Amino acid sequence: MAVIQENDCNLSTPLVTFRRMKLAVFVSGRGTNLLNIINKINDGFLRSEIALVISNHDCEAIESSMRAGIQSVIVDPKDFPGEVEFGNSLLRTLNEARVDLIVLAGYLKKIPDAVVSKFKNKILNIHPALLPSFGGKGMYGMKVHQAVIDYGCKVSGATVHLVDAEYDRGPVVLQRCVPVDSGDTPEDLAAKIHQLEYQLLPEAIELFENNKVKVEGRKVQILRS
Ligand code: GRF
């Protein structure tokens, strides 16, 4: 998403400048994907900036973001009477930080409907399996990998998708697979899939930075130049 800012001045031709896309990264756990995004910004692969990290509770990820000097906020749904108030609080925080794209990187709470509709097709989630299999409410962490192994799947992988009103249901942006080897433990599979995620999530963000994503219903077309 190239963000164009027109300067408010009295020139006959408006001065048009580009500003960096502002990300809000939502986290609930270790935050290794968050650290990877920070690295990808620092090494120049991504042009975005992380305007904000949001978590529902204190966790390793929020500690890392604070150490990195990024504005970090805990917004706990338990502190609000209901989803509407929780959503309004998130929206206020996101608007204040002028966020363009939300990235869910291991965030375990449901995104309130008001945020989903305000940020339609502008919320990415990374899921550690090949959706639509092994997703949905309660499918997170080792439960996903255990279920893949128990089913006897020969491949698993990672999915980056847009977020809609249901857990893990929105249109798929990118997907990539890894083999499930005999004898793999859930931890082995998680480690392999994390390595994939470190490629896939920055790649998806880069597509948005460069306006290469076209969404038509469930189909996400990647515009390659
Ligand atoms: C990742 O496996 C991601 O797919 C899932 O949560 C995990 C987050 O890992 N949504 P980390 O906190 O980034 O290490």
Q: What are the pLDDT digits (tens) for 47-79?
A: 999 999 999 999 999 999 999 999 999 999 999
CB of residue 30 inside a 6 A radius of ligand 1: yes
pLDDT bucket at 7, cuts 50 / 70 / 90:
very low
Give the CA distances from residue 30 to residues 24, 58, 59, 100, 192, in Å, rounded to whole numbers and listed in that order.
17, 11, 7, 24, 16
Residue with tokens 């991504």: 46
Res 159 pLDDT > 80: yes
Please state the pTM of the whole predicted model. 0.93
Domains in the chain, ordered, with CATH? 1-119 (3.40.50.170), 129-160+175-225 (3.40.50.170)
Res 84 pLDDT > 80: yes
How many other C-beta atoms are found inside a 10 Å radius of the C-beta of residue 171?
Answer: 16
Q: Whose CA is closest to 53, among 28, 34, 25?
A: 25
Percent of the chain with pLDDT over 70: 92
Helix axes 60-67, 32-42, angle to 10 degrees: 20
Res 8 pLDDT > 50: no
Res 100 pLDDT > 80: yes
Give the CA distances from residue 159 to residues 27, 91, 105, 127, 177, in Å, rounded to whole numbers and listed in that order.
17, 26, 12, 5, 9
The pLDDT of residue 99: 98
What sign results for the dihedral spanned by CA atoms 143, 105, 175, 221?
positive
What is the best residue among 28, 30, 33 to mutate for testing ligand 1's pocket, by most ligand atoms within 8 Å of CB? 33
Q: What is the pLDDT of residues 105-155, one digit of tens each?
A: 999 999 999 999 999 999 999 999 999 999 999 999 999 999 999 999 999
What sign results for the dihedral spanned by CA atoms 202, 203, 204, 210?
positive
Provide the mean pLDDT of the chain. 94
The pLDDT of residue 12: 54
Catalytic pick from 127, 145, 161, 194? 127
Pairing outcome for strands 101-104 and 123-127: parallel
CB of residue 135 inside a 6 A radius of ligand 1: no
Pairing outcome for strands 49-55 and 22-27: parallel
Range of weakest confidence among 10-14, 64-68, 87-91, 182-186: 10-14
For residue 19 the two structure tokens come to 């500003």
Res 164 pLDDT > 60: yes
Q: Can you tell me which atom of ligand 1 is nearest the CA of 30? A: 12
Ligand 1 centre distance from Cα of residue 126 (Å): 7
| Contact call for residues 24 and 52 (beta carbons, < 8 A) | yes
Res 178 pLDDT > 90: yes
| Contact call for residues 114 and 102 (beta carbons, < 8 A) | no
The pLDDT of residue 19: 82
| Contact call for residues 160 and 125 (beta carbons, < 8 A) | yes
Res 5 pLDDT > 60: no
- Strand positions, DSSP E, 56-111: 72-74, 101-104
